[in-house]
Structure 1
Amino acid sequence: MEPGGDRQQLQRLGREAAEYYRSHEIPQRLEEALNTLFLLRPTDLYGDLANYFSKFAKAPVICKLVGRKVLDGVGRPTLEVEIYCIIKNYEKRICSTVISSHSQILENALPEATEADEKERNDSVNTAVEWVNESLNAMLRDLKPTDQCNIDKILSEYFIRKVEEKKEIQKEGEEESTLSLPSCVPSATGLPEGKKATTIGKKVPGAETTIPPAEPIESVLCGSLAIGGTSLAIAKAGATISDIPLYLYIALLKRNQDSPKEMTMPLPMVTLLNCGKFSPGKLKLMKEVMLIPPVQLSLKQSIERALDIQREMMKLLEPTCKGPSPQLADRKKGSARSTGKKVLPAAMKRISHLGCLITGCDNLEQPLLLLQTACNNIGLELGTDMYLAINCAAHELIDYHKGKYEILTGTFRSPDEIVDMYVELINKFPSIIALVDPLRKEDRKQWNNICCALGSKCFLIAEDAATSISKLIPDQDINLPQCSGIVLKYINQTKVSDLIELTGLLDGQRHITILGSPDGESSDDSLVDLAVGLGAKFIKLGGLSRGERVTKYNRLLAIEEELAKNRTLRFEASLEFINFAEETQPEQLFDLLPLPKQD
C-alpha cells in the first residue's frame, strides 16, 4: 500500500461511520468529535476514540462480594469484605475492608472464659462470611456502589430479618423448655454479673449502698460483622469509583453532595500508659493515660511531640540498679510526702494491645507526676504544650456487692464520693481536659453532678457508658447520661449511614464526636477517613506502637498533608468546654484553653 494509504483508509472509514451515525440520529457533537479525531495520527486515533466513547459507557455496578476470614491486629479472627464491579464490560476488584471485631480482650481471664470467647468469635466470623458470600452477594448484585443510602437500607432490612428469625428460634426453644422442665425457683448464684441478689429478712454484709443495677448487656447477633463490613466496603468502592479519597466521599454523603470548602483534622488522643485494673500495682482507676496536643499544632508536630514524651517516659521507667530514683516533678502538689527513695513504677517487658507501655502504679498521682517529670525534662509544660485525658473505665471497677468503685486495691468509693475525688483531681491537675467513662452509664445522677462540677474545665466522655449505635438511631433521641460527647466505634451491624445520621444528631445537641478504635483493631485505616469526613473532634487510636495502630496515625499524616496541599486545611481556634451549670445562658456555654508555646 502506498505511503499514507493507512491514513486515507482510516479517513474513509471515519466518513462512513459519521454517515452511519448521522442516519441513525446520533447527536451532531458526536459527528464533530469523530471528524476531529480523523485528523489525528492512527496511533492517537484509537486511544482518543476509546477515551471519548468511554464517557457513554454504563455506570459501574456491583458484580460480586467476597467474604473472607482473616486475622486482626492481635491474631483473632475477623471479617474481610471484597467488592468487585463491572467496569466497561470487565469484572474488576475495586477494594476490600477489614472490620474490627467487637469483643473486648479478656485480661487475666479464666481458661474457660477465653475458650468460650474464642468459640463465639469464630462462630460469628464464619456466619458473617456465609452471609456475605451468599445472601448479600445475591442481594447487592447489579446495584451501583455509589448508592450508599439504598444499599445501607437493604443491609438494615436484611439484618432485621435475621434478628426476627433468631427471636422465633429462641421463642420455640423456650416453649419446649417450659413443657419439658418442672418449674423451679432461681438461685441467687445464678444471677449474671452486675445483678444484685436480694435476701428476705437478712441484711447482706457489706451492702452499704444501693446503686442502680447494671443494664442488660446488648446481645450481639452472630454474623453481624457482615453488615458493618459490607457497608464500609461499599463506601470505599464508591470513593474509588468516584476517584476521590474516602474522607471526602464521606463528607459529601454527610453534606448531601455539598463539597466542603475547608476541613479540620480530628485531634488525636494518643495513649501513653496502660495502668488500669489488669496492670501490676494497686491503681485500678486509670485504664489509659492519653496525650492531647494543642489545637494550634499540626498533626505532624503533635505526633513528634508525643514521641518525645514517650521516649522520655521510657527512660524514666527503666529500672536502675544504683542510686535513688529520679525525683518526681511538682513536689508541692503531691510528692512532698515522698522521701525520694520510692521506686518509680516498673514498665512491663511488653506492649499493651492498645499500643502503649504497661506500667504499675500505687496511687492516682503517681502516673501524672511521672508525666510532669518527663515533660519538664524535655522543656515542655503540661497544661500548655500538651494536655492529658484519662480513660477511667469505671464499668470495670464497680463492686456490685459493696455498691462502690474500687479505685485502688482495697480502696472503694461510692458514686457520690468518686465525683468528689474527680473534682479534687482536676483541681490539682488542670492539665487533664478529658475524662472517659468516669462513671457507669447507670449512675445518671452522678453524671449530672460531675458535668455541673467539671463541665467547664474538661470534657466528660461516654465510651462504654454510651448506648450502642443500633439503639441510638431508631429513637432519634440520644439515650445518654448527661455528658460532653461520646466515643463511636465502627463494629458489628453499624453502617456508614448510621454514623452520618448519628453525628448529625450529636452536632445538633452540642455533643462532641470521637471516633475510637476497639480492642480488636485491624490494619484497615478506614476509621481515619471516617473521622475526618464526619468532622469528629477527636480520634482515639491507642498508642504509637503496634502496626494496626501506627498505620492509622500514618493515614492521619497523609490526609493532613493532602488537605494542606489543596489549601483546604483549617485549624480550630480553641477547644471549647460546655458549662452545664449555666443552662440559662447558652451564649456563654464555653471556656477556652490557654494558647500553647510555639515550637
Structure 2
Amino acid sequence: MEYCGNRAAGEQQQQPQPQRRFTITDLKHQAAEYYRSNEVPQRLEEVLNAMFYQRPEDFYGHLANYFSELSKPPVITKLVGKKVLDGIGRPTLEVEVSCRVRNCVKRICSSMISSHAEILENASPEAIDADEREREESIKIAIEWINESLNEMFIGLQPTDQHKADELLGEYFAKKAEADEERREAEKEKEKEIQEAEASGASAAPAPSGKKKPNKAAKKMSVLEKPIPPAEPTEPVVMGSMAIGCTSLAFAKTAATLRDMPLYLHIALLKHDQESPKELALPLPMATVLSCGKSSPGKLNLLKEVMVIPPHWLPVKQGVERCVDIQREVMKLLSQTTNMPSSVGEGKKTSRDAAKKAPSPVLKKMSHLGCLVTGFESLEQPLALIQSACTHLSLELGIDVYLGINCAAHELIDCSKGKYEVILGTFKSPDEMVDVYVDLIRKFPSIMTLIDPLRKEVESAFPF
C-alpha cells in the first residue's frame, strides 16, 4: 500500500503545470524590451530624421540599404563539391559556397581548379588511361572531403576570414598527408619484403661464369659528353588534395562577391589591412601565337610555344590588342603565303631563291590555348613568320614587341640516347642545345625569355 501511495504521489507531481497566459500588457512589455535591446527605436529615429532632409526617391530602398549595413556579417551555411568538365573536356573539381546573408541563405559563387596530373602530349595510350583513372579517383576523394568533413568544419565561419579558413584547411591537409605517408611507407615495406623473398630464391641459381668485356665506346662517350642525369622521382601527391586549394579559392571569390569588388583587389588587400591601392602593377601579358611542339605536324619539335610579349611601357589593354593584331596577321600570312623563308636574321631580308626553296608550313588546327598548331621544318621559320607579321603592322621586333619561347625540353629527351630531338631525326646533347639557343638568340635578339630550355635535372649544370 505504501508503494502504491508513493507512486500515486509521483504521478501527481509529474502532471504538467498549467501554462501562464500572457496579457496584452505583458506582450507589449516584452516587445518593447526586445526592440529596445536591439536599439530599434534609436536606429529608426536616426534614419527617419536623416531621410526627412535627404528626401530619397526610393524611400524603402533607402531604409533597406541603411539597415543592411547593420545586419550580421554573412556566414557559410553549406559547401558542395561536384565533378564538372573543364575547357578541354577533362573532369575537374568545382566547389559551391552558400551563405546566410541578411537572414536569407543564398548561393554566392563557385570555383574550379584543374587536376594536378600533367600528361605529356606524346604520352602512350596506357599513360593517358592511367592519368584519367588517377584524375577520377582524386576528384572522387576531394568531393567526399568537401561534402562531409570540410562542410561541417566551415559552417558558421565568415567567408571574409581568409586567414582562419586557410589555417583550418592547412591543419586538415596535414593530417591527411600524414596518413597518406604512413600508407605509402607500409606499401614500401611490403614491396621490400617481396623483393627480398624473390632475391633469396634467385640466389640459389648458378651465376654465369663468363667475364664481361668493358664497354670502351661507352667509356669514351662519357669522357666526351656530360651524362644526362636521371629524372627526379615523381613527388607523391595526396589524392583529393585539390579540395584544399579549390575551397580556399572559393572562399576568396565569395568574400570578393560579398564585398562587391574584383577578386584581384580582394586578394591584394589580404596581405595587409590597408586601403585599396590607387595603382596596381600587372605582369606583362604573354600571348602564344604558334605551337610547333612534338605533337605538331612538320619536323620541328623544339618550339612548343612561340609567344609575343608587348613592351613594359605599353598599357595592358593596348598590349593585349597588339598581341591579337599579330596573331591575326600571322593567320593571314599562313593562309596567303605558300612559301616561307627557311632562315632570317632580324633586320635582314632573305633572297627570293631562299624563300622558294623553303617548304611551306603545315597548318593543322587551333589548340585549346588559342594558338595555331603549325608544322615547320627549321627553327628560324616560325620566328621569321612572326617577324613578317610585325613588319606588315609597322612593328619592330625588339622595340615594339618581344619574343618568348617555351621549349618544353623534358618532352623531347630521348633517355636511351641522352639527347634532345630538336628536329625530327636530329638529336642534340645538352652542350649542343646551349649552342642552338645561343645561335638562335644571336639571329633573333628580340627573344627575351626561354622557358624549360633543358630538363630541370640538367639546367643547374648548364646555366645560361
Query: TM bucket by the smaller chain?
Result: 0.7 to 0.9
Change (3 A) 1:17 1:138: closer
Paired residues in the alignment total: 418
Please give the alpha-carbon distance, in whole angstroms, between the structure 1 residues aligned to 2:291 and 2:340: 21
Kindly indicate whether the alpha-carbon contact (under 8 Å) linking 1:389 and 1:434 is maintained by their aligned counterparts in 2.
yes
The match for 1:225 among 242, 253, 257 is 242
Counterpart of 2:175?
161
Change (3 A) 1:391 1:36: same
Change (3 A) 1:447 1:95: farther
Q: 1:333 offset after TM fit, Å?
A: 5.4
1:346 correspondence with 2:359: no
Counterpart of 1:398?
413
Kindly indicate whether the alpha-carbon contact (under 8 Å) linking 1:65 and 1:84 is maintained by their aligned counterparts in 2.
yes
Please give the alpha-carbon distance, in whole angstroms, between the structure 2 residues aligned to 1:204 and 1:185: 32
Change (3 A) 1:173 1:339: closer
Amino acid at match of 1:341: K
Please give the alpha-carbon distance, in whole angstroms, between the structure 2 residues aligned to 1:408 and 1:23: 82
Alignment partner of 1:443: what SS? helix
Kindly indicate whether the alpha-carbon contact (under 8 Å) linking 2:120 and 2:411 is maintained by their aligned counterparts in 1.
no
Counterpart of 1:382?
397
- 1:95-114 equivalent positions in 2, closer than 5 A: 95-114=109-128
Which has the larger displacement, 295-304 or 54-63? 295-304
The match for 2:327 among 293, 305, 310 is 310
- 1:23-172 equivalent positions in 2, closer than 5 A: 26=39, 30=43, 32-33=45-46, 36=49, 48-172=62-186
Please give the alpha-carbon distance, in whole angstroms, between the structure 2 residues aligned to 1:45 and 1:161: 54
Alignment partner of 2:252: what SS? helix
Q: Which has the higher helix share?
A: 2
Cα deviation code 1:318-370 (max 9, x no counterpart): 377xxx7365785785956826232221111x212322111112221111111
Alignment partner of 2:399: what SS? coil
Please give the alpha-carbon distance, in whole angstroms, between the structure 1 residues aligned to 2:359 and 2:188: 58
Q: 1:170 offset after TM fit, Å?
A: 2.5
Amino acid at match of 1:251: A
Cα deviation code 1:5-58 (max 9, x no counterpart): xxxxxxxxxxx99986897695996474166279699x9776555443333322
Please give the alpha-carbon distance, in whole angstroms, between the structure 2 residues aligned to 1:64 and 1:218: 33
Tell me, which stretches of 5 or more residues in structure 2 are unaligned? 1-28, 201-211
Amino acid at match of 1:227: I
Please give the alpha-carbon distance, in whole angstroms, between the structure 1 residues aligned to 2:401 and 2:257: 37
- 1:140-539 equivalent positions in 2, closer than 5 A: 140-179=154-193, 182-184=196-198, 201-202=214-215, 208-318=225-335, 325=339, 330=344, 335=350, 338=354, 340-348=356-364, 350-448=365-463, 450=464
Higher relative contact order (CA 8 A, sep 6+): 1
Q: 1:143 offset after TM fit, Å?
A: 0.8
Please give the alpha-carbon distance, in whole angstroms, between the structure 2 residues aligned to 1:216 and 1:181: 20
Cα deviation code 1:184-224 (max 9, x no counterpart): 469xxxxxxxxxxxx99546857653233222122222111
Q: 1:153 offset after TM fit, Å?
A: 1.4
Kindly indicate whether the alpha-carbon contact (under 8 Å) linking 1:82 and 1:97 is maintained by their aligned counterparts in 2.
yes
Q: 1:304 offset after TM fit, Å?
A: 2.7
Please give the alpha-carbon distance, in whole angstroms, between the structure 1 residues aligned to 2:213 and 2:109: 61
Alignment partner of 2:279: what SS? coil
Change (3 A) 1:316 1:260: same
Kindly indicate whether the alpha-carbon contact (under 8 Å) linking 1:37 and 1:49 is maintained by their aligned counterparts in 2.
no
Alignment partner of 1:340: what SS? helix
Amino acid at match of 2:391: N
Alignment partner of 1:66: what SS? strand
Amino acid at match of 1:168: E
Kindly indicate whether the alpha-carbon contact (under 8 Å) linking 1:333 and 1:428 is maintained by their aligned counterparts in 2.
no
Change (3 A) 1:29 1:282: same
Amino acid at match of 1:33: E
Q: 1:134 offset after TM fit, Å?
A: 0.9
Please give the alpha-carbon distance, in whole angstroms, between the structure 2 residues aligned to 1:312 and 1:35: 63
Alignment partner of 1:74: what SS? coil
Alignment partner of 1:442: what SS? helix
Amino acid at match of 2:90: R
Change (3 A) 1:23 1:314: closer
Alignment partner of 1:291: what SS? strand
Please give the alpha-carbon distance, in whole angstroms, between the structure 1 residues aligned to 2:213 and 2:237: 35
Change (3 A) 1:105 1:175: closer
Change (3 A) 1:379 1:52: closer
Cα deviation code 1:540-589 (max 9, x no counterpart): xxxxxxxxxxxxxxxxxxxxxxxxxxxxxxxxxxxxxxxxxxxxxxxxxx
Alignment partner of 1:169: what SS? helix
Q: What TM-score do you get using the length of structure 2 for normalisation?
A: 0.80
Q: 1:73 offset after TM fit, Å?
A: 0.7
Which has the larger displacement, 398-407 or 422-431? 398-407
Please give the alpha-carbon distance, in whole angstroms, between the structure 1 residues aligned to 2:46 and 2:31: 10
CA RMSD, 1 decimal: 3.4
Please give the alpha-carbon distance, in whole angstroms, between the structure 2 residues aligned to 1:304 and 1:319: 23
Alignment partner of 2:197: what SS? coil
Change (3 A) 1:426 1:176: closer
Alignment partner of 1:268: what SS? coil
Amino acid at match of 2:239: C
Please give the alpha-carbon distance, in whole angstroms, between the structure 2 residues aligned to 1:256 and 1:107: 44
Amino acid at match of 2:405: I
Change (3 A) 1:162 1:414: same
Amino acid at match of 2:415: Y
Between the two proteins, what is the percent identity of the paired residues?
54
Alignment partner of 2:117: what SS? coil
Change (3 A) 1:23 1:217: closer
Please give the alpha-carbon distance, in whole angstroms, between the structure 1 residues aligned to 2:447 and 2:394: 19
Counterpart of 1:479?
none
Which has the larger displacement, 253-262 or 265-274? 253-262
Cα deviation code 1:83-117 (max 9, x no counterpart): 11111221111111111233334424332222211
Alignment partner of 2:246: what SS? helix
Alignment partner of 1:375: what SS? helix
